[in-house]
Each structure stands twice: as C-alpha cells, then as structure tokens.
Amino acid sequence: MLRKDVNDLLTQTDSGTPMGDMFRQYWIPALLASELPEDDCAPVRVKLLGERLIAFRDSKGRYGLMDEFCAHRGVSLWFGRNEEGGLRCPYHGWKYDYTGQCIEVPSEPDESGFCEKVKLQAYPLIKIGDILWTHMGDKEDRPPKPTWEFATVPAEQTYTSKRWQECNWLQAMEGGIDSSHVSFLHSGGLKSDPLFKGAKGNQYNHADKKPVFEVTEAEGGLYIGARRNAEEGHFYWRITPWVMPSFTMVPPRGDHPMHGHFWIPIDDENCWAWSFDYHPTRALTEAEVQYMRDGHGVHNEYVPGTFRPLQNKDNDYMMDRDAQKRGDTYSGIKGIAMQDASLQESMGPIVDRTKENLVSTDNGIIMARHRLRKAVTALRDKGVTPPGRDPAHQMVRSVAVVLPADQPYAETCKEDLAARPGQKHTSV
C-alpha cells in the first residue's frame, strides 16, 4: 500500500516532476533502430516522459531527437522534409540539423545571424544494439553509454521488440519483477510456448505455487530470488535482477534465450514495454527468431502498421473463455506478453495503490518501490545521482538454478548474476 502522495511521486514523470527528473538521469530506449532504417528516411513521432519529440536520421546517418514542433509557429516537424543534412519544416522552409540547431531560415538574410539563435530542445540519440537510446537530462551530466549485455552481444545473438502498453510504467514494471504470478498466469505458456517449454525448471514452477521470496540489495537495484521446492534438500531458485529505474530480466529456462524488459513512460497513462531476447554464447536460431517475430515468448503480435498489440482492451484482448476453461491458458488470454499486459491494463491507467493488500511474495515490489522512493527523494532534495547509471550496475543477468537448501543464493550465484561476455548463462 502506498499513500496517494507517494503513488503520485513514483508514477508521474513529466518534465519538472521528481521521478521525471530521475528518468532523465539515464540513457533510455527511445526507438527501435529499425524505425529509422536509412539516411533521410521519414521522421518518426516519439513521445517520452510526456514530451512530444521527433526523431530523424540525416543524410550522413546521424540521428536526431528534438522538439516535435517548429520554433517558428509551431507546426509539427513530422510533416518535414528530411534532406541534405537536416529536417526542413514544410511551412516556410526552416531547417534544423540533428542537434536541433536551426541552420536555415530562407526568408531571412544570411548575414542576419537570425537562425544561429534558434535551437530546438534536442537530445542525443545513439545506436547500441537494436535500439536508439536517448538521455533527456542535463548534457553536462551525461552518464556513460549503456552496457546492457543484450544490447552489446553480436547482432545475431539478440532480438528486440517494443509494444505500447496502456497504463502507467510502474504497474507494468512491477509485473516484471513479480515472478510469483508465473505459476498461475503463465502456467499454460510454460507448457506450450516454444520459447519457454521443455525446460527442466518449469516442473518446479508448476509443482510449488508458494514460492518464498528473498530479496537482496544490489548496487544498481535488487536481486529478487524466488525459492521453490526442488528435489530433496534442494531449492529451485529463480533470480530476477532489477536495475534502476526500470530494467528487469526474467529468469531463464534451459538453453532458451534469456529475456527481459525496459518499462519506459510515454506519459503518465501509457508506457513502452521493451522486450528483448538474447543468448550470451550463440546465435539465435532461425526458428527462435521466427517465434519472436510471430509474437511468442515475451513478444506479441501487432495491429498492422502500429506497435499496439493486436490483442488490446478494445477487443477484450481476444478473451477465449473455452481456452480458459480447458486450462490451455490460465486467464483465457493468448501469449505471455498479453497475459501480463491485459491484467496490468485492467487495473486502470494508474492503479490506486492506497487500496492494495500486499503479501510476502510482493517483497520484490515493496523493496523496489522503497529504493525508487529513496533515490528520487535523494535526487530531488540533495542532488544525489541515483544508482543504475554506472556500467557495472548494468552488467547483470537473471539466473535459474537448483541449490542445496543451505546455500544462500546471492553469495553462491554472485558470478552467475553478472554479465560475463562469452560465457553461458546459468539456467535450469
């Protein structure tokens, strides 16, 4: 349960809000690189943290991300011409380069120096992995570039998608660190999803529906360990790393690729659910990639031409009561991703956390909120840089492992929980 003012503090991210300031401390995913596929291609509207922006790729392949609206009279630059090193407003031909600097105002004399004084608010946009990342904060305090393993392995080992989720970022993220729902909501998917099924660990998930949670602090966030009974004298541990503010990884299953998410605010009532799958030591197979494209695993199908899921609240997520009855799917909703999204969206745009009744399996959520709150108030009140910017904080992995009952997971799996380029993940 959260007081209303705390709920507001953690869920509001527009410019000028404390949590908005905190998100602006990080490199965050802004677009799929494939959305800007070539030089001088069509610009793309992007809304992030409540700001309406335009992204483009200029004639030399440089990426720009800036105010959507022309500084002259406010026309949307989405209608702009992307040509010869800049994006030109089609109303009166004002032109901007990838830094937001106005480089031409045709009606003004060149010698007037007018256009030098015009600059749109702009943010850097850099490609790492399949993603274009931005940092929307103070450029004097730019963090080191992102080092997430999924984004830095060779291209053939990784796959990324994004989908529009119609609720606040925090309730989406909380779903990501809550592995206790897997035994219920995803019980059907564990058996049938080609990117999940067949792992030995799944049997423990099915058998023990009362996981015990042990949450450990990490420098960049938390490790959330879910302990289920395994063979005599052993526990099956599923360990989810959470890195501030909104990176999570699902514990792996057998030799399947590992997956995880970023939860990035579009505005207070919408977010981007970024989903990736990668294997640390081998290329994804053709079959695996096809499964991901087809919406299996943590990915999903789309309304054509959009990033909105094909299953969405307007069609009740294509609820199939017969499948629910038969148990093919636990909730009647098809697909791991939409099973989560449907429920998270059903809570409303911003869930009222004053009405919750949390239990011990929600410890991960409770502690994540606590750390977020501590970090956001420290930043607001004392200017303290929050955790999660440091490359070392980002070098994490999820783990699925069977350990003797007397071994503490955090110490035992210390190495397994770190990203180790070229070394396989620890997964049962």
Residue closer to its own copies by CB (options 221, 332) is: 332
Task: Write down the least CB distance from residue 214 to its own copies, Å.
Answer: 14
Contacts of 111 (CB under 8 A, 6+ apart): none
Size of the site for its own copies (CB under 8 A): 55
Residue closer to its own copies by CB (options 28, 170) is: 170
Task: Write down the least CB distance from residue 369 to its own copies, Å.
Answer: 12
Q: Restricting to residues 72-111, which ones interact with its own copies according to CB under 8 A? A: 72-76, 78-79, 81, 90-93, 105-109
Name which position in 116, 219, 294, 356 contacts its own copies (CB under 8 A): 356
Cα 27 from Cα 29, distance rounded (Å)? 7
Task: Write down the least CB distance from residue 416 to its own copies, Å.
Answer: 26
Name which position in 362, 398, 425, 427 contacts its own copies (CB under 8 A): 362
359 binds its own copies (CB under 8 A): yes
164 binds its own copies (CB under 8 A): no
Residue closer to its own copies by CB (options 87, 395) is: 87
Interior/surface letters 9-23, b for 16+ CB within 10 angstroms, e for the rest: bbbbbeeebbbbbbb
Residue closer to its own copies by CB (options 92, 282) is: 92
Task: Write down the least CB distance from residue 89 to its own copies, Å.
Answer: 8
| Contacts with its own copies, 235-264, as mask; x by CB under 8 A | ------------------------------
Task: Write down the least CB distance from residue 348 to its own copies, Å.
Answer: 7
Residue closer to its own copies by CB (options 151, 215) is: 215
Task: Write down the least CB distance from residue 175 to its own copies, Å.
Answer: 9
Three-state SS string across the chain, please?
CCCHHHHHHHHCCCCCCHHHHHHCCCEEEEEEHHHCCCCCCCCEEEEECCEEEEEEECCCCCEEEEECECCCCCCEHHHCEEECCEEECCCCCCEECCCCEEEECCCCCHHHCCHHHCECCEECEEEECCEEEEECCCHHHCCCCCCCHHHHCCHHHEEEEEEEECCCHHHHHHHHCCHHHCCCCCHHHHHHCCCCCCCCCHHHHHHCCCCEEEEEECCCEEEEEEEEECCCCEEEEEEEEEECCCEEEECCCCCCCEEEEEEEEEECCEEEEEEEEECCCCCCCHHHHHHHHCCCCCCCCECCCCCCECCCHHHHHHCCHHHHHHCCCCCCCCCHHHHHHHHHHHCCCCCCHHHCCCCHHHHHHHHHHHHHHHHHHHHHHHCCCCCCCCHHHHCECCEEEEEECCCCHHHHCCCCCECCCCCCCCCC
Task: Write down the least CB distance from residue 106 to its own copies, Å.
Answer: 5
408 binds its own copies (CB under 8 A): no
Residue closer to its own copies by CB (options 28, 185) is: 185
342 binds its own copies (CB under 8 A): yes
Task: Write down the least CB distance from residue 383 to its own copies, Å.
Answer: 29
Name which position in 37, 61, 348, 408 contacts its own copies (CB under 8 A): 348
Q: Restricting to residues 198-217, which ones interact with its own copies according to CB under 8 A? A: 209-211
357 binds its own copies (CB under 8 A): yes
Residue closer to its own copies by CB (options 68, 277) is: 68
Interior/surface letters 31-41, b for 16+ CB within 10 angstroms, e for the rest: bbbebbeeebe
Answer for the pair 137, 24: CB distance below 8 angstroms, yes or no.
yes
Residue closer to its own copies by CB (options 45, 60) is: 45
Q: Restricting to residues 277-336, which ones interact with its own copies according to CB under 8 A? A: 319, 321, 324, 330-333
Footprint of its own copies on this chain (CB under 8 A)? Answer: 42, 69, 71-76, 78-79, 81, 90-93, 105-109, 114, 118, 174, 180-181, 183-185, 209-211, 319, 321, 324, 330-333, 339, 342-344, 346-348, 351-352, 355-362
